[in-house]
Structure 1
Amino acid sequence: MLALAFLAPPPVIAAAARTPELAVTTRLADRRMLVTGDRFWSMGTADGRYPAAGFHTRGEMGGFFAPPIKVLDGLWFGVDGQWLPAANRMRSGWGYVRTEFPTNDGLRITRTDVDPDGERAGLVGLTLSSSQTRTLTLSVDAHSELMGMYPWGETKPSQTTVNLPDTASVSGNALLFRDVGTPPGPNQLKHDWAASVGSSLTPVSSQVGNDFRGPQDPPVRCPASGPGTADLPARCDDTAYGNGAGGRLDYRITLAAWKPLTVWFAVAGSDTGPAAAQSTLSRVLRDPDAEFEAKLTARKAVDARTVVDLPGDPLLAQSVEWTKQNLADAVQETHNLQLRPTNGGTVYPAPVGTLDSARWIAAGFPDYSWLFGTDGEYTAFAAVAAGQFENIEAHLRSLRDVSDKVNSRSGKIVHEVTPDGQVYFGANADAGNTDESAKFPSAVALVWRWSGDRHFLDDMYDASVRAMKYVTSLDADGDGWPEGLGNVERPGMGAEKLDNTVYTIRGLADLVDLATAKGDNATARWAAAKVANLMHRFENAWWNGGDTQSYADSLADPGNTKVFQRHWIGLTPAEATLPDGTPIASTDHAVATLTQHEKPCYSGDLGLFHTGTGPTSDPAGNKGASCDIAVSSVAADREAFTLTTSIMAVAEGNYGRSAARYTTDIARVQLDPTLWEMPGAMPEIAPSPDFGANIDKKLTERSMVLQAWGSYGILWPVVHQQLGVDPDAGNGWIRVVPQIPAGQQRISGHNIRVGTGAVSVTAVESGQTITVTASGPLKMTIGAVLPTGASVKSATLNGKPVQPEVVRTTRGLEATVPGSGNLTLVLAY
C-alpha cells in the first residue's frame, strides 16, 4: 500500500471520553502505548505503530501478548488501499487507550484499544465518521510472533534457537497463526501456540505470507542482542529473533453521513492449540461493546475506593487517582506454570513442579511483567491503601506457592518468576536474595492488618514463620545480621547488607503480631527476643557517623567493618517501621540522614539517586556534589528510580517531615506533560543525570513505561501518613490520626477500605483549631498530629469535652481519644 497524503479536513467531533483521560499530541512516535488486561496486554507507540521494543529479547517485548506467550508483532489498518497515517493524538483512559488519526476528505478515524479482564484477547475498535455517505474498503494487517516470554535473547537457551517458525492461514472469517513443535535442546516441551485475528464482519478478501506489517514493510531488522551489537538502528520494525508470519483481511463497509460507526477487531492467543484461540476470539467479538463497558465498570469501581481531596496539593490528589489505575493495570495471571529454576538464565532443567495458576501484580511493562518478591512486597503498601486486597493477596499466595515447590518449603522466597514458571533467581541453590524472605512476613502482616482476612492469615502463617527461620539461619558469623544479596546488586559490598538487616528486624516484629494472632506463643517469644536483641545493637553496629551523617550500606567480614557507598538503602532504617509505627532508626540519626539526603549529593530535580555523589576511588571519579569527605569504592549512580524516591518520601513522613518534594517528583513523571512518556503511567526511572529520559532513548534500551513500585511513594504517604489511617482490622480496631501538611488547611479521604467496611476521614485546620471527622466500622482511636511547638488547650468529641492522651512520636505530638461510629474531634491548641 502507498502512504496517504491527507488534506485539511472539516472538523469532526471525536468520540466522547468514557473516563477521565490524559491526552498527548507531541512526539507520538517516541512514546510507548500500553494496554493491559489481567490475561492479555499489548504495547506499541502512540502514533499507532509497532516498532521493535524491549531488551530482554531485544525488540520482541512489544506487540501483543497472551502470557506466557507473545502472539503478534503488531496490527495495522488501512482505508481504500492506503495505510492510516501516524496518529496525531493519543488519550490514556482508565483501562483503555484512544488514538486519533488526521482527518482526510471528511473521514475521521479514532482507534480504541481495550483488553477485557479474564480473557486472553485484546479488542481494537475503529470508529469511523464521515461528512458524506460512502462505501470504503477497510483493511487490517497482522504479523505474528508466537514465542515464549522466556527464554530471552541471551539466556541459555536463547530465543535464537528455540523460536520456531510460525505459519499463517485463513480459518473462517479470521486469520490463524500457529507455532507447533518441540524446540531443540534438553528439557524442551512440545507446544501448540496459536493466535487468531478477526472481526465480527465477514471479510471480502484475505491474504497470508511472510510480511504484512502495514506501513512498516519492508521491515528494518534489529540484530540479536549480544557482543558487537552496540550500534543499533535508531528504530527497528523486527529483529533477528523474529520467525513470524503475516496476513491481511479486507472488509467493505458503508458509512452514513455524520453517523459514526465502530468496527471491532480482536486478537486472541492460546498456548493450548488453535481451538482455544478461536473460541476466545468468537466470545469477545460476540458483544465487544459489553466487554468495553465491563472494563469501564471495573475501573470505576477501582476509582471509587480511596477517594482523596487534597486542596493544597491537587497534583498529588490526581496522582492518587491515576496510581490506583496503574495498580489495576499491572495485574497479571497465567495458568499451568512449569516451574524450573534457571539460575540466572544459565541452565534449563526439567520442571521441578507445576502450578495450576498464578496471579500477581506485575513489576513493570514491558520487560518485567512477571512475578517478583521485592517489587510486590513494596507494592503491597500501595495495594492495601488503594483497597486492592484481593490482588495483593493473590500475589503473596503465588510467591508462596512457587517458593514452596521450587525450594522444597525451605522458607526461601523466590526473587523473579516469568509467566511460564521459570524461576530466574531465588532458588535454594542460588546465592539468593535475602530481602524477599525477610519482607514476606511483613507483607502478610500488612495485608492482615488492613483486610482482617482470617482465612488469609491462616493460609499464609506457616510460610511466614518458615521465611523468618530461613533468614535468621543466614548468619555464618553469629552476629544476628543476615548475609546475602539485598536490593542493591552492586559490587564492593560486604556480606551483610543494611536493608536485609532492617527488613529482618521488621519481619521478626511483624511475625510477633502474626504469631500472637494465631496463638503461637512460642514463635512470638522467639521472634520478640530477636527483635529486642537486634534493636539494642542496631545503631552502634550500623551508624557510619562522621560527616557522612548516614548508615553504612553493608558490613564486611571479618570484624563487621562498615562499608559506606551512598546507596539508597541507607534510608531503609528511616523508612521501615515496627508494628506500633515506630521507625527502626533512632530519631536523631534519622533526622540527620534525611537532612543529608535532601542535599544535591543525593537528590536531584526529580527524586533520590540510586547512589549519591562524593569522593570515590572509582576511576570514573566524582560526578557531582560532595556532602562528606568519606571515600567510596564505587562510582555514583544518579538514576532516580521511582522506588528510591518513594523510600525517601515515606521516610520523611515517618518523622513528620514534609515529603512534598518527593511525592511531587513521583507525581510529575506520571502527570506532567513536559516529563511523561505515556500520560498517567508511573515509570520505573525518572529523567535523571545518569539515565536521561526514556523518550529520548531507543525503544530497545528503555526502562519500564509502567512500574508498580512507584505507587508506594504516592498512596502510602497520603493514606497512611497524611490521613493517618492505621488499621488493625484483624483485632477489630483502627487508629485515624491525620497530619495536615504544613501550609495546608484541609485534607480528606473517603471509602478507604478497611476490613469488610470503609473509613472516611477529614481533617481541617483553622486558626488554632484542628477538627477531625472520621467514621468507620471498627473501634477507633481518633486524633491528630499537632503543629510543631503546639500543645492542647481543650478538646471535644462529638461536642462533649474530653481529655485526650498526648504522646510524642516520631511524627510529632499526637493527641488522641477512643471512640466508635461517626466521630468529630475538635482540638484547640
Structure 2
Amino acid sequence: MRKFSCAVSLLVSIIEVLTAGNSFGQSNDLYSAELMNGLSNKGANLTKPYITAGDRTYIVGTQNGDFPDLGSHVKGEMGGLWMAPIKLLDGFWLKLTNEKGGASAWLKDAREFITYPYGSKFLYSPILDGIQVERFQYCPQGKEGIVVTYTIKNSTSKSRVLTVDFVAKTDVSPVWFSKENNIIDATDSISWNANRSVYLARDVKNSWFTVWGSSIPASSHALNVPTPTETIGLGKSASSTHRVTIKPNEQITAVFVIAGSTKNSESALASYEAILKNQDRLLAEKKAYYASIINRVKLDIPDKKLQQVVNWGKVDTEWLVSDLPGIGRFLGAGAIEYPWLFGCDNSYAQQGVVALGGHELAKSTLRTIKQVSEKTNGNGRIIHEMSSNGFVGNKGNTQETAQFAIAVWKVFEWTGDVDFLKEMYPYIKQGIHWLLTDQDKNGNMFPEGYGIMEVKGLNAELVDVAVYTQQALDVTSKMAAIVNDPAAQQDYAQKATVLKNLVNTLFWDETEGSYCDFYGTREQAITTTKGAIEQLQLETRADNRSHEFVQKEEFYKKLLAHLETFPEGTQKGWFTNKNWVISTPIESGIAPSDKAIKLLDKVRTEHTGAYGPYLSAVERRSMMTIATGVQAVAEATYGRTDESMWYVNKLVQTFGRVLPGSISEMMPDYGCPDQAWTIYGLAVPLITHVFGVQPDAYKKTITFSPNLPSGWDNINVSDLPVGNNLIAFAVKKTSRGTEYDLSSKNADWNYTIKQKGLRGKKYVLNGKTLTANSDELHVGGKSAIILLLN
C-alpha cells in the first residue's frame, strides 16, 4: 500500500476496520421498478414516431399504432419492421369482426401509447360493443424476429365469437446506401405454408426472407388484400383469419411472430418457430436485461426529475444498439433516421455510456469504428458514417479522427483494459500522422477539412478540429507511455503543448471576446461567408423569406463587405458563423480561465436560445442536444456547477416531448426522437463533475472531487463500475461539515478526496480529529467515512 503523511497514514491503517459505510444501493427491483412500469404519452403525439428496440430487430411506427410511410434517407421507408440490413414488413394491422351480425373494426387508432424499456404497448378504445384490445410488442435480444401480442377482452356478459384478421404488408428491401452500391430492391413474392400455417415472403432477386404466423390456428388466408394504410414500395399484402370465442368478462391472447433471414427460408422458419415457442422466456430475459442496465450506476440526487431522465437515458441509449453479423456490436446514432454507425456521434456518446457503466458497449462500439475505418481508409482516418449494410457513406470529417482517440482514452480511464488500448493504439497513431501530415498541408498544426459543423464552404482550419487534435495528441502521449513507446510519448506531449498555445493565441479574437470559427486566409473567409449565404437561401423558400431571413442575409452581406477590406492573403482567426463549437476550447479545458469565463458568459447571454446554444448564433434557429451538452461540460470544466446544471436541465425540460422516455435530437421536439449523443450532456457533467469521479482504472485509483449545485445537500451513487471494481460514493452536508462516504468491492484500490482549500482544515476519521496537510486526502481499502469539519 502507498505511504502518505502521518495523518493520512493513520487513515490508511484503520480504513479496513471501518464497518460503517455506504451500501451498494437499494434493491435492484426497487430501483428499476419506476422505469420498468413504463411511461405513457397520455394520448398526445399519436402521429409522432416511436421505436420498439432490439439489438437485431426493431419496429418504427406512429404512436397511434399505425405504419405510415416515414423518413427521408430511404424516402418514406424508414418505418416498419427491420432486421438490418433488410426491412421485413412495411407494417401490420388487425381487424376484428363479429361473427354474429358481421360488424367489423380495424385497430388503427390507439388512444394511448406506453413505452417500456423492453417493449411498447398500445391501448385502444372499446370496439364492437364491449371488446377491449391491447397490443404489446417487443424485439427479443439477439434474435432475428419480433413478437406482437394482442390481448382481447370481452367486457360484456355474453360469449362473443370473433374473427381476427391479421394483415401484413411486406417490403423485403435493403437499408440506406444500398442502391448506390448496386444492391437493388425487387418485387416481393408471398406464399402460404399450410403445414406450418405461416406466410413466407422473399425478395425475388435477393436472398432476403420474411416469415410470420400466430399462436392461434388460422382458419383461412388470402393474398393481395387491402390494408387500412397505403404504403409505398414493392411489397405485397396478405392476411390470415383466426376464429376465437371469448367467454363473458374473460380475455384471450393472440401472439404473432415475424422473423427474417438474409440467408435462406429455412433460417427464417427456424427463427420463427424458436421465438414462438420461447416467447415468454425471451420476454423475461429482455426485462431482466433492461433492469440490469437501469440498475447499473444507481443515483440518489435531490433533483428527482434529472435522476429519472438520466436513468431513461441509459435505456434509450440501449435502444440504439445494433449487433450486425459480420460487422459488430455498436451504438447507432439515432432513430428513426440514423440507426447506423457514426464516428463523431459515438466519440461523444461513449464518454457518457462508459460513465454510466456501459464498459462493454463502449469498447465494442469503438472496436467496430476502428475496424470499419481501417478497412475503408487504412490510414488512421475515422469514418463519419456507415450504413447498416457495411457501406461507408462518408469516409470521415477531419475532427472525427481526433475525437476517436479522445473517446478511446476516456473509455480506458474507466475500464483499465490494457488489451483494448493496445488494440486501438496503432491505428490512433496512424490517425495522428494523417491529421498532422495529410491534413496539414501548410504545416501550421491546424488540420484542414470539414469539422462537426457541415456548413457549405466551411472547409478550412476549424476550431473544433484544432482543439480535438490538441486533445488527441495529449491523450495519445499518455497511451504511448502505457504501451512503452517513449519516442512517440515525448513527441505527442510536446506537440500538444505547442498546439494548445496556438489555439489560445491564433484562434482567440479579443475584440469579440471569443474563439473564432476557423483560422485561415481572407479568401477562405470570403468563400465561407458566400457559402453561408447560399445555404441560407437554399434552406428558405423565395416566397417565404421573413424579416428574420432578411436580417441574417444582411449580416452575412455586411460581413462579406468587411472581409473584402482586408488585404489579399491576410491570415487570422475569423468569426464568421458563430457556431457552437467555439466552446470546444473550454469543453476540453485548454482555455485560460479568463478567456473561458468571458466566452461562457458571452454564449449564455448572446448565443443561447430557450434550450441551449444555437448551432449558429448568426442564424439563431436550431438548438441541438449535443451543443447544449457540450456547453454543460464546458461550464463544469471551469467549476461553474450551477451554470452547468442550467444547461443540463434544458435537456431535462425536453424529456418526453415526442417519445415517452426519450429526448429529441433537435430541441425541444423534432429530429430523431432518440439520439445517442444526448447521454454525453446528461452523464458527463453529473458523474465526472457533480460527483467528481475521476477514474484511473489502470492504476486502480479514483479521485473524487465533488461539486454540489446550490440547494443540493446530499448525493449518492452506488453500483458504479470502474475497472473490475464496484464503487459507492456519497456526499452529505451536515451541521458539522461535509461527510464523504465511500465503499468499494475490492480492497486493493486507492482513493483520493480532492477539494480546493482543504489544506489545514480539520477532519474526523473514526472519532479521531486530524488536520489535512494538503488539498488531498488519500485512502485505501473497502470503506471509509470522512467528515470535513466546517
TM range (shorter): 0.7 to 0.9
TM-superposed deviation, 1:439: 1.3
Which one of 192, 196, 205 corresponds to residue 220 of structure 2?
A: 205
Closer, same or farther: CA 267–550 of 1 in aligned 2, 3 Å = same
**Shift in alpha-carbon separation, 1:246–1:638, aligned structure 2, 3 A:** same
Q: Write out aligned runs for 1:150-189 (5 A).
A: 150-151=176-177, 156=180, 162-171=184-193, 172-181=196-205
Among 583, 590, 614, the residue aligned to 1:571:
583
Q: Which residue of 2 aligns with 1:339?
A: none
Q: Which has the higher helix share?
A: 2
Note if 1:466 corresponds to 2:430: yes
Q: TM (normalized to structure 2)?
A: 0.85
1:293 aligns with 2:315: no
Alpha-carbon displacement from aligned partner over 1:350-380 (angstroms, at most 9, x marks no partner): xxxxxx2322100001111001100011001
- Determine helix, strand or coil for the equivalent of 2:646: helix
The answer on 1:128 being equivalent to 2:93 is no
Distance of 1:106 and 1:816 partners within structure 2 = 69
Deviations 1:560-609 (CA, angstroms, capped at 9, x unpaired): 42111210101111112xxxxxx11111111111111111x311112221
Contact 2:436 2:443 in 1 (8 A): no
Q: Which consecutive residues of structure 2, in runs of 5 or more, have no partner in the other structure? A: 1-32, 98-103, 522-568
Asked if 1:491 is matched to 2:456, the reply is: yes
Indicate yes or no: 2:601 matched with 1:595.
yes
- Corresponding residue number in structure 1 for 2:137: 113
**SS of residue paired to 1:721:** helix
Matched ranges for 1:250-329 at <5 A: 250-311=241-302, 313-329=303-319
**What does residue 530 of structure 2 align with?**
none
Cα distance between partner residues in 2 of 1:445 and 1:271: 37
Superposed, 1:69-148 pairs within 5 Å as: 69-80=86-97, 81-104=104-127, 105-131=129-155, 132=157, 133-148=159-174
Matched, 1:607 2:612: yes
State yes or no: 1:389 paired with 2:389.
no
| Residue 480 of structure 1, CA deviation | 1.1
Q: 1:822 to 1:784 in 2, by over 3 A?
A: same
Contact 1:363 1:369 in 2 (8 A): yes
In 2: Cα distance, 1:654 partner to 1:405 partner:
36
Aligned to 1:31: 48
1:379-778 alignment to 2 at 5 Å? 379-407=349-377, 409-426=378-395, 432-473=396-437, 474-493=439-458, 495-546=460-511, 548-557=512-521, 560-564=571-575, 565-576=577-588, 583-599=589-605, 601-613=606-618, 636-657=619-640, 658=642, 659-671=644-656, 676-687=657-668, 693-694=669-670, 703-767=671-735, 769-776=737-744, 777=746
Using a 3 Å threshold, how does the CA distance of structure 1 residues 17 and 91 change in structure 2: closer, same or farther? farther
Task: Report if aligned partners of 1:512, 1:524 keep a CA contact under 8 Å in 2.
Answer: yes
2: distance between equivalents of 1:168 and 1:804? 77
- The normalised TM-score by structure 1 is 0.81
Residues 790 and 518 (structure 1 numbering): CA distance in 2 closer, same or farther, change over 3 Å?
Answer: closer
One-letter identity of the residue aligned with 1:207: A
**TM-superposed deviation, 1:645:** 0.6
Structure 2 Cα separation of the partners of residues 480 and 135 of structure 1: 77
Find the aligned partners of 2:459 and 2:41 in 1 and give their Cα distance.
47
- Identity, % of aligned positions: 28
**Equivalent residue letter for 1:290:** R
1:306 deviates by 1.0
* Partner AA of 2:574 in structure 1: V
SS in 1 for 2:710: coil
Residue 623 of structure 1 corresponds to: none
* 2: CA distance, partners of 1:34 / 1:141: 21
- Equivalent of 1:50, from 45, 63, 67? 67
In structure 1, give the amino acid aligned to 2:509: N
Structure 1 vs Structure 2 CA RMSD = 2.0
User: 1:820 Cα deviation (Å)?
Assistant: 3.4
Q: CA deviation at 1:648?
A: 0.7
Q: Is the 8 A contact 2:728 2:742 kept in 1?
A: yes
How many angstroms does 1:28 deviate by? 4.1
Check the 8 A contact 1:150/1:422 in 2, yes or no: no
**Equivalent runs, 1:807-822 vs 2, <5 Å:** 815-822=776-783
CA distance in 1, matches of 2:78, 2:290: 26
Mean Cα displacement is larger for which, 101-110 or 391-400? 101-110
In structure 2, the CA distance between the partners of 1:463 and 1:730, relative to structure 1 (3 Å rule), is same
1:792 Cα shift? Answer: 6.1
Distance 1:798 1:395 in 2: 44
Tell me the CA shift for residue 805 of structure 1.
5.7
Of residues 59-68 and 649-658 in structure 1, the stretch that sits farther from structure 2 once superposed is 649-658
Distance in 2 between residues matched to 1:551 and 1:280, nearest whole Å: 56
User: Separation in 2 of the partners of 1:801 and 1:715?
Assistant: 35
- Contact 2:38–2:116, Cα closer than 8 Å, also in 1: yes
Shift of 1:765: 1.6
Q: d(CA) in 2 for partners of 1:509 and 1:654?
A: 17
- Distance (Å, rounded) in 1 between the aligned partners of 2:628 and 2:242: 51
SS in 1 for 2:514: coil
Name the CA distance, whole Å, in 2 between partners of 1:151 and 1:425.
11
Matches of 2:773 and 2:469 in 1, distance apart? 32
Give 1:336-355 correspondences, 5 Å limit. Answer: none
Give the Cα–Cα distance (whole angstroms) in 2 for the partners of residues 805 and 442 of structure 1.
Answer: 34
What SS does structure 2 have at the residue aligned with 1:656? coil
Residue 445 of structure 1, CA deviation: 1.2
Indicate if the aligned counterparts of 1:493 and 1:556 stay in contact, CA closer than 8 A.
no
**Uncovered stretches (5+) of structure 1, i.e. residues with no partner:** 1-15, 182-190, 220-237, 336-355, 427-431, 577-582, 614-635, 688-692, 695-702, 808-814
Q: How many residues align?
A: 694
Q: How far apart in 2 are the matches of 1:684 and 1:641?
A: 6
Whole-Å Cα distance in 1 between the matches of residues 251 and 592 of structure 2?
Answer: 64
Structure exhibiting the larger radius of gyration computed from Cα positions: 2
Q: CA deviation at 1:494?
A: 5.8
